Structure 1
Amino acid sequence: MFLFENEASFVDDREDLLAILKMRFGEIPPGIIQAIYDIKEYDAIERLILVASNVPNFEVFIEELEEGSGSFRILGDRFNPIQSFNEKGDLNDEKK
């Protein structure tokens, strides 16, 4: 792949990450947006897309963002997107 294609994919992935965060958690603070744009590793952005799609709340995403490129595992209850519903009882209320 050419350099400009890589850069375009990188920009697209950053925008995808921000879109996922906005869909799931609403407005994103400017400092978080800047932190995402400061990431230079493509693998880190891809990982954060998976994290953003699976964390139960924004606070867990922030913790993972602050981990940097040293973190690579995405497993356990921290990455259960329906956990927040279970804690609030929203899923149980719908079944009644």
Structure 2
Amino acid sequence: MFQFEDEANIVQDREDLLSVLKMRFGDIPPKIVENIYNINSYDTLERLILVASNAPNFKIFIEELEEGDGSFRLLGDRFNPIETTYNGGRTDAEK
């Protein structure tokens, strides 16, 4: 891929990530938006899109965002978006 294509994909992934977050969790704090715009790794953005789509709450997304490039697996009930539906929007830890 050419460098301009990489940059275009990164820009698009940032926007996609913010869109998923807004759809799932509402308004996003400006500091989080700034952190997302500072991400320049295509792989990290792709992983965070998956996290945003599957994390049952915003707190878990923030934890994964803070992991940076080091985290790469989405495992267990921690990433079950349906769980909050059955628990009235709360995870087991929040009950």
TM-score (norm 2): 0.90
Structure 2 residue 40 is matched with structure 1 residue 40? yes
Which protein is bigger by CA-based radius of gyration? Answer: 1
Q: CA separation in 2, counterparts of 1:83 and 1:56?
A: 7
Tell me the equivalent position of 2:92: none
**Count of matched residue pairs:** 89
Please list the CA deviations of residues 16-66 of structure 1 after superposition, one character each: whole Å capped at 9, or x if unmatched: 000000001100000000011111211000000000000001111001101
Within a 5 Å distance, the mapping from 1:1-96 to structure 2 comes to 1-88=1-88
Structure 1's consecutive aligned runs of 4 or more residues displaced over 6 angstroms after TM superposition are none
Structure 1: which 5+ runs fail to align?
Answer: 90-96
Q: CA separation in 2, counterparts of 1:33 and 1:20?
A: 12
Q: CA separation in 2, counterparts of 1:62 and 1:83?
A: 18
Q: CA separation in 1, counterparts of 2:41 and 2:13?
A: 11
RMSD between aligned residues: 1.1
Structure with bigger helix share is 1
Q: What percent identity do the matched residue pairs reach?
A: 69
TM-score (norm 1): 0.89
Structure 2: which 5+ runs fail to align?
Answer: 90-95
Q: CA separation in 2, counterparts of 1:50 and 1:34?
A: 19
